[in-house]
Structure 1
Amino acid sequence: MKALIIGVSGQDGSYLADFLLKKGYEVFGTSRDAQGSVFRGLNFLGIKNEVHLLSMDPEDFRSVLVAIKKSKPDEIYFLAGQSSVGLSFEQPAETIQSFTIGILNVLEAVKMEARGIKVYHAGSSEAFGDTEGEAAKETTPFKPRSPYALAKASSTWLVDNYREAYDLFACTGILFNHESPLRPERFVTQKIIQTAKRISEGAEEKLVLGRLDVSRDWGWASEYVEAMWLMLQQDKAEDFIIATGKSQSLEEFVSKTFEVLGLHWQEHVSQSPDLMRPTDLSISKADPEKAGKKLGWKAKVDMEGVIERMLK
């Protein structure tokens, strides 16, 4: 089996490459500049030399088609795009284009190839918007509240449309928050972990955050890539929510992190209105029952486990 991971340099792409290599796949991975990219995640996992790296611009159809013809994949995993919700408010056009044009080009290329390539598309829980505390299901309507969420909703609708219109095996994993040591520090979980570690080692600094009352469903990234793979092993292409099913507040995440390090978080944390987004979801809550029943997948690592693993 051959797999093409579009966006292999990111957190999920790196863990997915590792997972597929262990399954015996021949793995191809793309980056906009395969020669110049650092591939920190692949190096961290010690697998960079085992992945065939290709330069590809997802927003350039010819580039996408060439990469697919070179790799001849059985499965394509589309994980590329601007991945920060906060940054999407500063770069809305780039964010929307990176997802929608990227997946559109992949779907068009797969349609032209006409040889049954299976496509996985990385969706996001952000597309649901604020469900007012109700756990989102696959049938919950999208109400995006950020350029990032809008982009993810649009790209998910594109996948649904091509699946129905052209009978492609194309599906979306609607992933809730999932973390790992491969997260850059612009992500709040990594910012919390790294700042708390420095404080515990004697650094004279404060952890500055925005809202602490928001709740999220936090899981462990390396578990979530198995769900991506399982989705492409089904007889029928369907979308699935991938999550732990348990939401906790950012304050709880902060509190637990400092507690593990033997510190009282209130002494080291301050809030800044500059870090509060124009719109933010108060509660992000998931119902992953369908994934449990149809994929046989269930998250094993909860928020506390995520914190302990990231601290190590």
Structure 2
Amino acid sequence: MLHSPSPKRALVTGITGQDGSYLAEMLLNKGYEVWGMVRRHSSTAYDRIEHLLEKGASDQGALHLVHGDLRDTGSLLKILRQVRPDEVYNLAAQSDVKVSFDLPEYTADVTGLGPLRLLESLRELDLPSRFFQASSSEMFGKVQETPQNENTPFYPRSPYGSAKAFAYHNTRNYREAYGLYAVNGVMFNHESPRRGDSFVTRKITMAAARIQHGLQNMLLLGNLDARRDWGFAGDYMEGAWMMLQADEPSDYVLATGESHSVREFCEIVFEELGQPITWHGRGLEEYGQAPDGRKLIQISPEFYRPSEVDMLQGDASRARELLGWQPSVSFRELVSMMLAHDLELVERDAARADVA
């Protein structure tokens, strides 16, 4: 009697985050058995993967959660022995750049040493798992060239960027020193409706939706002229998967190749709401005004970083050529997608409040 081959097993750290939820969804649809590592808390937010947990198992694969922590090597060893994954995706991190200035040691421990603990655990157990490290464009920081590619030198401008650079080099070192299939995906900013609302893109779309419904008066922001290469998170997780399917391990940049400012992001959002904004003043005195004269956006010094990253723009031509990867969602489509989601969310919350 013929038996169907066992499904591939993937271990995903950070599965409850934006990236983890998109990756788990995609892997389940590809028939994987997905194991998600979550930290033990008295109350853990599973809202981004709730739709996957409710199904228990998709039509193709199954989802399991295990408790672990990147700061605890013992838990990592235990999980790896239990799961014996074919693929490991390390997406967990303290990923808020501004918070990394407030909590530099914690950021270094989780974002920098965490991946090293995973790599060393894989080496110690001698598992044949393929390892993906979620690296960041923040490693380029004070950019030495534009656009940035796999050969651009790093110049991080935050504890977060420095921790990611440490993890990047260790991933590469374990590949070269021990022969692990370990790769870095240097991902430029990637957003979605599942983005945390402390990140500037989601902060803008959520505030705009609340302003539209009269629940908020104004949006406070920092550097309007910071430019980023923004893409869709789902596309970047497809790229992460592609990297682990390649015959040979290698590091790749994932980016759209376009750069847009925070100012542009705001302009598109409020334009779609029928409130095109005009800018007045300069520096910390600058503000965005609605057609009826209301002040919609105000600059606040509390949202400036101690050292700023002014411009990020990636060159993903290597990933396009060797992996066949390319982004599917344009910048404007991404903004519209996020705004539509938050308008619906605010309307739903407002309706529940009225009922209550």
- Counterpart of 1:14? 21
- Counterpart of 2:201? 189
Q: What SS does structure 2 have at the residue aligned with 1:54? A: strand
Question: 121-130 or 133-142, which moves further after superposition?
Answer: 133-142
Decide whether the 8 Å contact of 1:39 with 1:48 is kept in 2. no
- Counterpart of 1:307? 335
The unaligned stretches of length 5 or more in structure 2 are 1-7, 58-62, 278-287, 290-295, 341-356
How many positions carry a matched residue from both structures?
312
Q: Distance in 2 between matches of 1:282 and 1:174?
A: 18
Question: 36-45 or 249-258, which moves further after superposition?
Answer: 36-45
TM-score, with length taken from structure 2 = 0.85
**Alignment of 1:261 onto 2:273:** yes
Report the Cα offset of residue 211 of structure 1.
0.7
Q: What SS does structure 2 have at the residue aligned with 1:232? A: helix
The unaligned stretches of length 5 or more in structure 1 are none
- Counterpart of 2:246? 234
**Candidates 119, 125, 144, aligned match of 2:137:** 125
- Counterpart of 2:302? 274
Decide whether the 8 Å contact of 2:36 with 2:65 is kept in 1. yes
The one-letter code sitting in structure 2 at the alignment partner of 1:16 is L
Query: Residues 48, 182 of structure 1: CA spacing in aligned structure 2 closer, same or farther, 3 A cutoff?
Result: farther
Give CA-to-partner distance per residue, 1:136-162, whole Å, 9 cap, x none: 010111111000000000000010111
Query: Residues 204, 70 of structure 1: CA spacing in aligned structure 2 closer, same or farther, 3 A cutoff?
Result: closer
Structure with the greater alpha carbon radius of gyration: 2
Query: Residues 183, 242 of structure 1: CA spacing in aligned structure 2 closer, same or farther, 3 A cutoff?
Result: same
Q: Distance in 2 between matches of 1:192 and 1:175?
A: 22
Q: Distance in 2 between matches of 1:205 and 1:27?
A: 43
- Counterpart of 1:74? 86
**Candidates 49, 69, 87, aligned match of 1:42:** 49
Give CA-to-partner distance per residue, 1:156-176, whole Å, 9 cap, x none: 001011110001000010000
Query: What does 1:13-32 align with in structure 2 at a 5 Å threshold?
Result: 13-32=20-39
Q: Distance in 2 between matches of 1:49 and 1:30?
A: 16
Query: Residues 167, 238 of structure 1: CA spacing in aligned structure 2 closer, same or farther, 3 A cutoff?
Result: same
Query: Residues 21, 204 of structure 1: CA spacing in aligned structure 2 closer, same or farther, 3 A cutoff?
Result: closer
Q: Aligned-residue CA RMSD in angstroms?
A: 1.4
Decide whether the 8 Å contact of 1:34 with 1:54 is kept in 2. no
Report the Cα offset of residue 89 of structure 1.
0.6
Decide whether the 8 Å contact of 1:133 with 1:285 is kept in 2. no
Q: Distance in 2 between matches of 1:85 and 1:219?
A: 18
Percent identity of the aligned residues? 41
Q: What SS does structure 1 have at the residue aligned with 2:134? A: strand
Q: What SS does structure 1 have at the residue aligned with 2:118? A: helix
Decide whether the 8 Å contact of 1:133 with 1:284 is kept in 2. no
Q: Distance in 1 between matches of 2:48 and 2:229?
A: 23
Q: Distance in 1 between matches of 2:175 and 2:55?
A: 33
**Candidates 63, 68, 75, aligned match of 1:63:** 75
Question: 178-187 or 19-28, which moves further after superposition?
Answer: 178-187
Q: What SS does structure 2 have at the residue aligned with 1:59? A: coil
- Counterpart of 2:109? 97
Decide whether the 8 Å contact of 2:211 with 2:217 is kept in 1. yes
